[in-house]
Structure 1
Amino acid sequence: MLKIIGLAAAGLLLAALLALAAIYLWKNHGPDRKDLAADIARKVARWQGSDSPADVVVAIVRDGEGRVLSHGPGRADGTTLFQIGSISKVFTTLLLQRLVDDGRLSMNATLAELIGERYPLAPSVAGITLRQLATHTSGLPTVPQYLEDEVIRRVGAENIMTDPYNHMTREEVLVYLANPVGGEKPGSFAYSNYGMGLLAHVMELVTGKDYPELLREQIFDPVGMRDSHGDLREDVARRLIQGHDAAGNPAPPWRFSSLAGAGSITSNAEDLIRFISAEFDPASPLADSLARQRERQPKAPVALGWFTPAPHDWIEGNSGILWHNGAVNGYFAYLAIDPERRIGVAVLANRQKDVTALGSTIMRLARTQSW
């Protein structure tokens, strides 16, 4: 009986593998229909559905050219501003790489060395390095319970997702390090919004400049990202496309009085095309830093701020991509690059509905189909 069960299980596994292989071959070796825009429109329409359809703006870079495709009821276009959530982490870690390349920081500098004289640090966190913060291997929690409890105390549990990072301060973020309850031993990968936000705060303390100013100076201005912002000033907030929550209801944007490095950036498709294009331009003023940021990091399934291919990427044939997604309560975004093929994709939506699979599919279409 056990032998029969084992043979049956092996047969099911073989069938599943054959099915995945068939899907891979169908998706990646089918004919070029020579109408990439129409293919993308069909995929976006399927994602949108008929339930409160969101605006979706897709940016494609291939063959040295950038194009913007817009879909949805609100007439969003390449200049429309969206919050990009955790894609901000790509820029936070690039900022770190820039400061390392300038000689102002070291990837292996510890919290004790950088802020230990100003803030009490528990022994368990004193040796955490900037590299560990940037690769989610610091052992720090996603958000410390201490900070979450403080937000709930101030706004109530029912309102915690309305604007959570705007109800805590940088000082409270740093005070946690004296008694880091809920942390783990550094070394293993564990995604941490707190750790990435802390990284930005450390860079602020070391340079004496705030995070939005550093982004502007080190990344946005050199690349020509003229309409990307690290904070949500009133003039920027007024220009944001209206966001919607998962149910399709209007949702206010998130502001970040702390942990901005985890998710505060606002951008648009045209600026993300400029950023993707800089990834492939050896003459870009950021070329060296961008190349170092793309390197696979030790002891982590990531590059610096980028995820490496996920299982669905392998099925789509996107084995050479680096990617990140991002969400706040009202927006969802996706960004991916294929450095070898010099192809990049950004997807921006004004609804908190996951666009990761859609983005991966569009990345495959950009690789296998032509305009």
Structure 2
Amino acid sequence: MGRDLESIVQEAAGGLAAGRSSAVVGVLAEGRTEIRGAGPGAPDGDTVFEIGSVTKVFTALALARQVVAGTAGLDEPVRDLLPAGTAMPAREGREVSLRHLAQHTSGLPRLPKGATWQMIREFPNGNRDPYARYGDATILAGLADTRLRSLPGARFRYSNLGAGLLGLALATRAGTDYATLVTEDVCEPLGMTRTSLGEPVIQGHTRRGRPTPPWNMAALAGAGGLRSTAADLLTFLQAQIECREEAIGLSRRTEHRVNPLQAVQLGWMETLLHPKIGGGRRVWHNGRTGGFASYVGFDPERRIGVVVLSSTARSVDGTAATLFRTLAS
């Protein structure tokens, strides 16, 4: 890496903030961390953003922790964790397991029954909280009318419904709610003090730059409800890179191969990169809500981690990719 780490991170944050709103960029490289923010509100490493689907890796780690503790099994049917009488769909006699939910191989649709049309119709007209109506009872009742699109375990089909159902099922088994589950099973053990379902402390904006209220993911919180900071997320990445805990190791070595270059672990996506764009292996997840965009990823061999948070709902993946290339050069 020919340039100093501080200038690389500051340039990335400033570039993101220009033309959108506030942004924070954090990197883990050369055995140290660097965080810089830019934009209105002087954001920094402790500024809380919605992280959207990055939440899924927290939910998956909560699953791994329960598996290691012996209170859940990767191949345990989801119906065993849900309230009695819940009609969990199956296909050709094959049931959906916890592993399937964490790896998006359950066959469940991307969204709850009836949600696709509702969200398309209402979101542009002012409904800035499209998941709020989907409480526990609504989600569980809707499963009776939900058809699996493929055999459980057969193929990768990204599903917010599946990831949210995993969080709900794990919390039900633990006798608590999702917020408590993720705090006790993931955040507290790792020393992450600012990650929760609490409100973001910075204003979110739509893709066009209009202020928009926070999202309430309700029963699907395990799919995208968490808020966090760059500092907390770098702590999370450090734990992933070191991989000293049994639960983290389990979440990383449990994979479903999507194609020769892509796999899904428990929660994480994994991509093998062509040498022309730096090569190596990248483990990552991104996220987007009505007012925020996020990216969290790492290269386990090079021990490089990248966090990008924006208070505008436009993808930050390009900035993350550029950072990885710069840090690896």
- Separation of aligned partners in 2, 1:108 and 1:132: 8
Cα distance change, pair 353–212 in 1 and its aligned pair in 2 (3 A): same
- CA-CA distance at 1:247 after TM superposition: 0.2
**What are the residue-to-residue correspondences of 1:143-182 with 2, within 5 Å?**
143-148=111-116, 156=122, 158-159=124-125, 162-181=128-147
- CA-CA distance at 1:157 after TM superposition: 5.6
User: Does 2:258 match 1:292?
Assistant: no
- Separation of aligned partners in 2, 1:177 and 1:139: 12
- CA-CA distance at 1:71 after TM superposition: 2.0
For residues 182-216 of structure 1, the C-alpha deviation after alignment (integer angstroms, 9 at most, x for no partner) is 73332211100000001111112211111111111
Question: What is the identity, as a one-letter code, of the residue corresponding to 2:3?
Answer: K
**What are the residue-to-residue correspondences of 1:201-240 with 2, within 5 Å?**
201-229=168-196, 231-232=197-198, 237=199, 240=201
Q: Which residue of 2 aligns with 1:21?
A: none
Q: Please identify which structure carries the higher strand content.
A: 2
Cα distance change, pair 306–152 in 1 and its aligned pair in 2 (3 A): closer
**What are the residue-to-residue correspondences of 1:183-202 with 2, within 5 Å?**
183-186=149-152, 187-202=154-169
Question: What is the identity, as a one-letter code, of the residue corresponding to 1:84?
Answer: I
Contact in 2 for aligned 1:88/1:263 (Cα 8 Å)? yes
Question: What is the identity, as a one-letter code, of the residue corresponding to 1:172?
Answer: T
Secondary structure (helix, strand or coil) at the match of 2:202 reads coil
Match of 1:303 among 265, 268, 281: 265
- CA-CA distance at 1:281 after TM superposition: 3.6
Contact in 2 for aligned 1:87/1:263 (Cα 8 Å)? yes
* TM-score after normalising by structure 1: 0.80
Q: Which residue of 2 aligns with 1:256?
A: 217
Cα distance change, pair 73–116 in 1 and its aligned pair in 2 (3 A): closer
Secondary structure (helix, strand or coil) at the match of 1:334 reads strand
* Larger mean Cα displacement after TM superposition, 194-203 or 170-179: 170-179
- Separation of aligned partners in 1, 2:27 and 2:9: 10
**What are the residue-to-residue correspondences of 1:73-88 with 2, within 5 Å?**
73-88=40-55
Q: Which residue of 2 aligns with 1:316?
A: 277
- CA-CA distance at 1:146 after TM superposition: 2.2
User: Does 2:7 match 1:34?
Assistant: no
Rg larger in 1 or in 2? 1
Contact in 1 for aligned 2:107/2:148 (Cα 8 Å)? no
- Separation of aligned partners in 1, 2:184 and 2:238: 19
Q: Which residue of 2 aligns with 1:17?
A: none
Cα distance change, pair 121–303 in 1 and its aligned pair in 2 (3 A): closer
Secondary structure (helix, strand or coil) at the match of 1:204 reads helix
- CA-CA distance at 1:37 after TM superposition: 2.8
Cα distance change, pair 319–279 in 1 and its aligned pair in 2 (3 A): same
- Separation of aligned partners in 2, 1:138 and 1:182: 7
Match of 1:131 among 77, 99, 106: 99
Cα distance change, pair 318–224 in 1 and its aligned pair in 2 (3 A): farther
Aligned residue pairs: how many?
323
Contact in 2 for aligned 1:40/1:365 (Cα 8 Å)? no
Secondary structure (helix, strand or coil) at the match of 1:166 reads coil
- CA-CA distance at 1:298 after TM superposition: 3.0
- CA-CA distance at 1:357 after TM superposition: 1.4
Q: Which residue of 2 aligns with 1:3?
A: none
- Separation of aligned partners in 1, 2:127 and 2:306: 28
* Larger mean Cα displacement after TM superposition, 339-348 or 76-85: 339-348
- Separation of aligned partners in 1, 2:3 and 2:88: 59
User: Does 2:273 match 1:273?
Assistant: no
Cα distance change, pair 152–66 in 1 and its aligned pair in 2 (3 A): closer
